[in-house]
Amino acid sequence: MSLILILTGKTASGKDTIISNILQKYPAFKKVLTTTSRTPRQGEKNGVDYLFLSEDEFRKKVQNKEFLEYVEYGGNLYGTEKSQFLSNTQNLIWKIDPSRAGSVRELLGDAKLLVIYINTDDETILQRLRMRGLSSVEIEKRMQDDKSIWEQYRNNYDYVLENTPGKLDKTMDKIITILDTQGLAPSGLSD
């Protein structure tokens, strides 16, 4: 069965790490790349982690209606280009902003979707955002945005999982159990 697994959650909740682990466990999944106007962080690669564009390039693509969805978050633009879905709509894993994930069914209609919200404690988020070099004002805004989005969309996610620092294996076990018990694990399972 074809599946689009939507992974969303608080800023700095560990979504990218979880996605990397899912891709290792289930090689049949293909990652939908997010396009962003922010500059790459150390170690990030264009076309692997994100599609990096200037703000002007991003806005031109918006004008040309090349995005399925986009949002401004933390002073940067993030979105999913329609081209990410043209070549393949089977067994995709898609990291998306929580506000957009809350209404993703409207975007994709009849596709088989599973939306998992990743949560972690505020102290961990504070530490991770400080390590990213964000200012106190930026951190406060992101955390406030997360709370507001949660209040508005919390009933729209299929599952909410706590990603406790140092216990990634437990988070992964929960995701694997969800996929397996619902018969949604894609073929090509890795050992």
- Let me know if residue 189 belongs to a domain: no
77 contact partners, CB below 8 Å, separation of at least 6: 36, 37, 55, 58, 59, 70, 71
- Let me know if residue 76 belongs to a domain: yes
**pLDDT of res. 1:** 45
- Let me know if residue 191 belongs to a domain: no
The β-bridge partners of 35 are 51, 79
pLDDT, block means (10 residues), the chain with 191 residues: 84 93 90 94 91 97 94 88 78 88 78 90 92 89 90 92 94 92 62 39
- Let me know if residue 177 belongs to a domain: yes
**pLDDT of res. 87:** 65
Q: Which domain holds residue 143?
A: 4-181
- Let me know if residue 171 belongs to a domain: yes
Order the strands of the 35-36 sheet from edge to edge.
Answer: 51-52, 35-36, 76-81, 67-73
Q: Are 91 and 12 in contact (CB under 8 A)?
A: no
Q: Are 113 and 105 in contact (CB under 8 A)?
A: yes
**pLDDT of res. 191:** 39
Q: How many domains does the chain have?
A: 1
- Let me know if residue 186 belongs to a domain: no
Start-end of H helices in the chain: 15-25, 55-63, 83-86, 98-101, 104-108, 122-131, 136-153, 168-181
Copy the structure tokens of residue 56. Answer: 């002007």
Q: Are 13 and 27 in contact (CB under 8 A)?
A: no
- In degrees and rounded to multiples of 5, residue 92 shows phi and psi of -100, 145
CATH of the domain at 94: 3.40.50.300
**pLDDT of res. 21:** 94
- Let me know if residue 187 belongs to a domain: no
Helices 122-131 + 136-153 axis angle, to 10: 140
Copy the structure tokens of residue 36. Answer: 């962003």
- Let me know if residue 105 belongs to a domain: yes
Cα maximum dimension of the chain: 45
**pLDDT of res. 188:** 46
pTM recorded for the entire structure: 0.85
Order the strands of the 113-119 sheet from edge to edge.
Answer: 30-32, 92-95, 4-9, 113-119, 159-162
